[in-house]
Structures are given as structure tokens and as C-alpha cells.
Structure 1
């Protein structure tokens, strides 16, 4: 039985880590370690809920509801998810990360209960939503990009003005020091024509003040 529990914990950590890796690649608030811990913790709670009270039941003949601990996990993860949601300048940030933290907890509970196929399928579906739908949204719906750029120090206003001259609308999200001679800038860039994402990135790289640029 111990080997079975160990397998469930390992599988829950792997599935949570895969989702966390996607978030970390996108430089989101909750990364690999957070998702692994959520997966392991949720699986452990479910294992305790299903199997941790057999000794009490055998001697006292007390009936227990195994769903109560799972319900409390959902409540607790809700607080974690809320901590990832930020409101800045009328813009809500972190909703997707909060949602996948919630999904990771659900996957951990499913694996902890022994429903491996459901957990694996749920992970695959979550990755499809996070990656494929992100591409579809950028391509067909919002026509905007969330970009992360490393720029030369002291060139922020020049870079923003230059991007505007290229025909894009840009909204600065954050600016932080990277090194003494570089800043890290994140911004939303909106465009209205049929320009591809690769073309936009290529055009931005032509500016010598922009050292690196990627989709965040």
C-alpha cells in the first residue's frame, strides 16, 4: 500500500510540475515549485481523507465523510489563487495563474484518490487551454501581445515613442532594473493589421536599444 501512495504522490508532483513549467516559461507568478507543492499537498490530503482513518473506523464503528477534507482543500487553494490576482491601473492580472493553481489542486485530489486517467487527461486539457488558446487568442481575437523586453538604461521613453511610430499602440506594464546598464520592461502592444507575431518581434529587434524581446 505504501508503494501505491508513493506512486500517487510522484505522479501528482509530475503533473503539477508540467503545468507549473508552462507558467514559469511565461514568467508568471506561480512556477514549477509552487505547482509541484500544490499537487503533492492535494494528493496527500486526499490519501489521508480516504485511508487515514481506518483504525478509528474499525474500533469505533464511526462513519466518516471522505469528501470533507477535499472540500477544505478547495477552500484553501482559493486563498492561494486570490494571492495571484492583482489589479493595476484598471487591469486585472493573474486570473489565469489563479485558475491553473485551482486546477492543479483538483488534479492532485484526483490522483490522490487513484483516478489516474482523469488526472492525466485533465493535465493535458489544461496545457491545451494554456498554450493553444493563447496562440488562438493572439492570432484571431485580441490582436495584442504582452511583451517582455530588455532595453538599454535610460532609453525607456525613446523606445516607447519608437514603437508608437511603428504603428503599434503600447501600454507600459512594469519597469525594473536588470543590470546597471539594462532595464526589463513589460508592456501590452496592440496592433490592427495582419502582421504576424514573428514580424512584430523582428521589427522590434531592429532597434539597437532593445537587447531582447519575447512574448511574456
Structure 2
């Protein structure tokens, strides 16, 4: 039985690591080590919840629900996932990584309970969603980019006109004045490029506007 427990913990760590590799390749907030630890920890909590209280439960005067230990992993992952969600320039980022950690915890719980097939199946589906569906989304919907431009205030309308000529409609626009220089401001835009549009063309269109100081594309 001890050998089986050790195998479960190792398998949960490996499966979590597979998801972590994909996240780290995308330079996300939670990478390989984080997902491995989540998988290992979830499996250990499930083992404790399922087998750790057998000696106490056998006593006639004891009555409680040990499954609450595993149940708390679900709510506890909410706090860990919230740490990967950040708001950058009023744009929410990290939701997919938080969901990946949540699924990794679920995989760890499944493996910890001994359901290897379900855990492997869940890992494969998660990788398909993260990688294959990402490519499908980029090809059918487009690429999502966050653009930060430092420019003169009078150049803001010209940048918007340049985007309009490329048939790009920003989803969110924020213009803020730089405190250290009244002649400079910062323009932050959330745009989606269609599969036929290239980020290089967008960069050149923005840089062609007079008064542009700096352009950052994420």
C-alpha cells in the first residue's frame, strides 16, 4: 500500500509538470515547479483524506467526515489562483493560468484517490485546451495584444486614425498624462489582430506617427 501511495504522488507530480511545462513555455506566472507542487500537494491531501483517518474512524465513539480535507483543496486553490491573476493597465491577465492550477489540483486529487486513467485523461484534455485550442483561436479569431505607447498628447488622434485605416478597433483605451513631463502621455490599448494582420505592420503604422516616443507590444 505504501508503494502505491508513493506512485500516486509521483504520477500526480509528473502530470502536473506536463501542464506546467506548457505554461512556462508561454512565460506565464505559474510554471513548471508550481504545477508540480500543486499536483503533489493535492495527491497527498487526497491520500490523507481517504486513508489517513482509518484508525480513528474504526473507534465507535468517533464520528466525522474526513473527506473535508480534500474538499478544502478546491477552495484553497482559489487563493493560490488569485495570486496569478493580475490587473495590468486595467487589463485582467492570468485567468487561464489560474484555471490551469485549479485543474492541476483536481488531477492531483484524482490520482491521489487511485483513479489513474481519469487523471491521465484529464491531463491530456487540459493540454489540448491550452495548446491546440489556443492555435485554433488564433487562426479563427485572431491574436490578442496589449499595446503601450508613449507619445505626445496631440499624437493620440493620429494613432487612432492609423488603427482605423488598418481596420483595428481597440477594445479598451486608456490615456494618462506623465507626471514628470506634461508634454508626454501614455496610451494603452487592448487590440485583437485578425489572422491575416501582422504585428509588424501594426508596429510600423504606429511608429510612423509623429510624436511617438516608445511602443511596447505584449
Q: Deviations over 1:19-46 (max 9, x none)?
A: 0110100000000000000000000000
CA distance in 2, matches of 1:79, 1:134: 26
Aligned residue in 2 for 1:36: 36
Q: 1:205 to 1:86 in 2, by over 3 A?
A: closer
The count of corresponding residues between Structure 1 and Structure 2 is 185
Distance 1:119 1:61, change over 3 A: farther
Give the distance between the partners of 1:57 and 1:191, measured in 2 at CA: 59
Please state how far the C-alpha of 1:169 moved relative to its aligned partner.
7.4
- SS of aligned partner of 1:190: strand
Q: CA RMSD in A?
A: 3.5
Q: 1:24 to 1:204 in 2, by over 3 A?
A: farther
Are positions 1:121 and 2:155 aligned together? no
Question: TM-score, normalised on structure 2?
Answer: 0.70
Cα distance per residue 1:108-161 (max 9 Å; x no partner)? 0000000101100000111111111111111112x224489xxxxxxx87xxx8
TM-score for both structures, normalised by structure 1: 0.71
1:9/1:44 contact within 8 Å kept: yes
**Matched residue SS, 1:66:** coil
Unaligned regions of 5+ residues in structure 2, if any?
Answer: 152-158, 174-188, 205-216
Q: Secondary structure at the match of 1:195?
A: coil
Alpha carbons of 1:9 and 1:119: their partners in 2 closer, same or farther (altered >3 Å)? same
Query: Which of 190, 193, 198 is matched with 1:191 structurally?
Result: 193
Residue 58 of structure 2 corresponds to 58
Taking the aligned partners of 2:72 and 2:26, their CA distance within structure 1 comes to 30
Alignment of 1:1-216 (within 5 A): 1-60=1-60, 62-141=62-141, 143-146=142-145, 167=166, 190-192=192-194, 195=196, 200=198
Decide which structure has the larger Cα Rg and report it. Answer: 2
Counterpart contact for 2:53–2:66, Cα < 8 Å? no
* Cα contact 1:12–1:108 (8 A) shared by 2: yes
Q: CA deviation at 1:67?
A: 2.0
Aligned 8 A contact 1:144 1:188 in 2: no
* Unaligned segments of structure 1, at least 5 residues: 149-155, 173-186, 207-214
